[in-house]
Amino acid sequence: METTKDKLIQRIDPIKVIESAFVMRKNKNFRYSLRSFANDLGISAAQLSKLLNKKVFLTRQQASRIAVALELPKVEIVSFIQSAILDAPLNAKIPKQLREKTKKEVAGKIKNALPMTNYSVERFKAISQWYHLPILELTYLESFKADESWISNQLGISVIEVRDAINRLIDLGLLEKCSKKGFRKTTSHLFINSNSEPEIRKYERSMIEKGLSRLEKFSESDKNNQLFNSITFPTSKNKIPEVRSAILEFQKKLLKIIQNDSFEEVYQMNCQLFPLTNTKKRSMK
């Protein structure tokens, strides 16, 4: 049986590392499959499936081979293999001396580690893929089920993507486990006022593409539960800050409208404000 001390020693979850690697590759190539991933890792698709579902544990040899295949930095390869050793059940074919040596080495790393964590990259990851924030909002639905397959069906993404997102959201403190629904969102609505970061722009682009997809499929039956419209208007540049503020205030007012409601669906509202003319370029001629 795993003790509390053992849990403190384990710094990473090798399965989470593998899942995150798959999600990142799939985001770059939507045709990338688990079978392709298994082939890249040098194991069978069946074995990979069992590992991801924690029906079997990584062996020391598998951990070493997979860590190299994932092209992890040398330091992370060592941690990956050490975590696989500590995660293995007591009846696994791992020499007792090796297990104890690994435990001491990891405990020493924790003791000497600097008390700091850089969350900025992970925060951007949490919003760069469109489904992270919807998962948070799904927890408000009366029909919500803390089940990876249910969430997968609701958002049309894979179970692995769901699991990876949930783990990341928990690590960031945006989602936590609870007894009533299984999960609950820990914060109120997240407002992002800057579009300067590439990951934020990636998130906004994904949501715009979702809107375009809905627009292409728009039918008469959708007119009461969807809205696609726009306005084109002339204005002076010194009025734009006021216009932006009005839009942001409207968003906050919208959230007040739906407060204390019984939640049945998760909606997305995209808003774009940009110039259609290029007066600066004309004035330079």
Mean pLDDT of 171-192: 79
Share of the chain above pLDDT 70, in %: 82
Give how far the C-alpha of residue 14 lies from the chain's centroid of Cα atoms, to the nearest Å: 17
Query: Which of helix, strand or coil describes residue 25?
Result: helix
3-state secondary structure 158-190: CHHHHHHHHHHHHHCCCEEEECCCEEEECCCCC
Whole-number pLDDT of residue 166: 93
Whole-number pLDDT of residue 86: 84
Q: φ, ψ for residue 185 (rounded to 5)?
A: -75, 135
Whole-number pLDDT of residue 77: 85
Q: Is the pTM of this model over 0.85?
A: no
Mean pLDDT of 91-111: 74
Task: pLDDT band for 118, please (50, 70, 90 cuts).
Answer: very low
Amino acid symbol at 79: S
Mean pLDDT of 263-282: 82
CATH number of this structure's domain 4-112, picked from the four choices 3.30.530, 1.10.260, 2.60.40, 1.10.4030: 1.10.260
Contacting residues for 190 by C-beta, under 8 A, at least 6 apart? 127, 133
Q: Are strands 182-185 and 175-178 parallel, antiparallel or unpaired?
A: antiparallel
Are 200 and 194 in contact, with CB atoms under 8 Å apart?
A: yes
Question: Which residue from 199, 188, 193 is spatially nearest to 127, judged by alpha carbons?
Answer: 199
Mean pLDDT of 184-213: 75
d(Cα 114, Cα 101) in Å, to the nearest integer?
22
CATH 1.10.260 domain residues, the chain = 4-112
Share of the chain above pLDDT 90, in %: 21
Question: Which residue from 31, 3, 37 is spatially nearest to 17, judged by alpha carbons?
Answer: 37
Give how far the C-alpha of residue 158 lies from the chain's centroid of Cα atoms, to the nearest Å: 12
pLDDT digits (tens, 9 = 90+) for 128-180: 788 998 999 999 898 999 999 999 999 999 999 999 999 888 887 888 888 88
Count CB-CB contacts under 10 A for residue 41: 22
- The DSSP bridge partners found for residue 183 are 177
Cα→Cα distances 137→72, 99, 193, 265, Å: 33, 42, 19, 9
Count CB-CB contacts under 10 A for residue 33: 14
| Higher pLDDT among residues 35 and 191, named by residue | 35
Give how far the C-alpha of residue 167 lies from the chain's centroid of Cα atoms, to the nearest Å: 8
Q: What is the mean pLDDT of the chain?
A: 80
Residue 20 has pLDDT above 90, yes or no: no
Mean pLDDT of 79-100: 80
